[in-house]
A = this chain, B = another copy of it.
């Protein structure tokens, strides 16, 4: 990925012209300065401080050519891809860079690296695609003098496919497109499409409890994981490959979402399925977001289980050029590899109609408008770079909340963002996931960036919305993870005894505290 933004060098997706015009009007960017960035040569990467002995033992662990400390390699691992990450990088600040980047080839090498770093007291930051938007991959050192990033990109194989049980054994460094391509050769799909899909990895998804966006039912990677293998600083962790179990608390569920603080995920069996071949979808317009939300609630509780059930408010719909002006839009889709789904769509459209929804002709019943939506969705991270160049602050917030408290949370979050950003901002909402007991609302804020105080501006809106979400009873994150940025609210959200149990588990498995210091818990704990 390019060092200052999203995508590979040369790849860019421009903001569509109508959206750019709309944005310029809404935000009144006439007087705003365009965003700038320094040249690569001017980026300030701190001098590497890895002791010679530690470096040599790492080279023993993974081979000489796989301990890298070139400036560009270290810069590429200096930060995730949050808005403040990008501000920092574009200004030439790479202070989050590790002292070296280590590239293990397999599990034994991972174990050797953890052993060497435990002995030397060097922090280790497990790294998949580096797409964290919550400060999850910056190479903070905790109490240690040095830090290395453990980049798992060389561990990217499909190890085995079990067509009978519809499961596959995968390595953690597999990125979304490659993973789907290799499974696709067998006619299978994992069906997990987080927005970072193009550059994020299986290991990262499991470590952060990622949510795949193209699904209403089993959306979190939690449900797709059948077993996990991980290397902790004090031994290998391997759960059994089981469709279900009642033997004690689930070991997998302690690892899933542990964000690299307990161990390094080295392999997982995941549940796959035949690629859907039968599809039916339709867009439905509603007079208001809340009318659409009523329909979505009934759909989510009906047992119909649409493969896609995404609700956009009128602002989001307008930016995405979906549906008539002023209307909230529901993207509804059913799919199967096994049997017809048109009847399900018909029932769902009846439900929508009962809530005032008007099916649109533009998306025919048997075309792939859901696929088009997915492509647009995966393009969004690219647009952020274009927005930055236009001088636009862009940020997203996501949560989950029960249906009974959704309207109050929605009002509080919208008001909090508007208050923090001022009159020129646009704040919009969509549902990225829905469950029978509640939606996962996703808020997008756009505002003219306040030149030279962008970080303070971002911080103000981050605090305002996060406070609103937590005070309204939501989660601080439904699928973006905690990292370091969400820590203040995560600490209020999690049960206090669970926090103590997690610290005790961490101390037992990683006694020197080398793994990802500062993420989820304090290094001092």
- A interface residues (Cβ-Cβ under 8 A, vs B): 162, 164-167, 208-211, 219-220, 222, 226, 230, 232, 234-251, 253-259, 262-263, 271, 273-274, 297, 301-305, 336-339, 343, 347, 400-404, 433, 435-440, 473-482, 486, 490, 493-498, 500-505, 507-509, 520
Partner of A237, one of B245, B248, B496: B496
- Tell me which residues across on chain B come within 8 A of A498, comparing CB atoms: 237, 239, 251, 254
Q: Chain B contacts of A338 at CB under 8 A?
A: 301-304
CB neighbours (8 Å) of A297 from chain B are 164
In the complex the two chains form, is B404's CB within 8 Å of A162's CB? yes
Interchain CB contact (< 8 A) of A339 among B208, B302, B480, B503:
B302
- Contact sample, A vs B, 22 pairs, CB 8 Å cutoff: A166-B403, A166-B436, A166-B437, A167-B402, A209-B246, A209-B247, A237-B495, A238-B495, A240-B473, A241-B473, A242-B400, A243-B401, A244-B435, A247-B257, A247-B493, A249-B254, A250-B257, A301-B338, A302-B338, A304-B339, A501-B505, A504-B504
Q: Are A244 and B403 in contact (CB under 8 A)?
A: no
Contacts A234-B497, A437-B167, A437-B271 given; indicate if A258 touches B248 (C-beta within 8 A): yes
Nearest opposing residue in chain B for A404, CB measure? B164
Stoichiometry (number of copies): 2
Residue pair A244, B509 in contact (C-beta under 8 Å) = no
Contact A247 B303 (CB under 8 A): no
In the complex, what distance in Å separates the CA atom of A193 from the CA atom of B339? 30
Q: Complex formed: what's the CA distance from A403 to B167 in Å?
A: 10
Min CB distance A399 to B, Å, is: 9
User: Is the Cβ of B263 less than 8 Å from the Cβ of A257?
Assistant: no
Identify which of B240, B475, B505 contacts A504 (C-beta below 8 A). Answer: B505
Contact status B254-A254, CB under 8 Å: yes
Q: Identify the interface centre among A226, A401, A481, A498: most chain B CB within 10 Å of its CB.
A: A498
CA distance A500 to B233 in the complex (A): 13
Residues of B within 8 A of A303 (CB): 305, 336-339
Complex Cα–Cα for A274 and B301 (A): 9
Bound complex: CA of A257 vs CA of B401, how far in Å?
Answer: 25
With A164-B404, A235-B496, A347-B339 known as contacts, the answer to whether A247 contacts B501 (CB < 8 A) is no
From known contacts A304-B339, A509-B497, infer whether A243 and B400 are also in contact, taking CB-CB under 8 Å: yes
The 6 closest A-B CB pairs, nearest first, are A243-B438, A253-B253, A501-B505, A243-B435, A251-B498, A504-B508
Query: A436 to chain B: which residues have CB within 8 Å?
Result: 166, 243, 271, 273
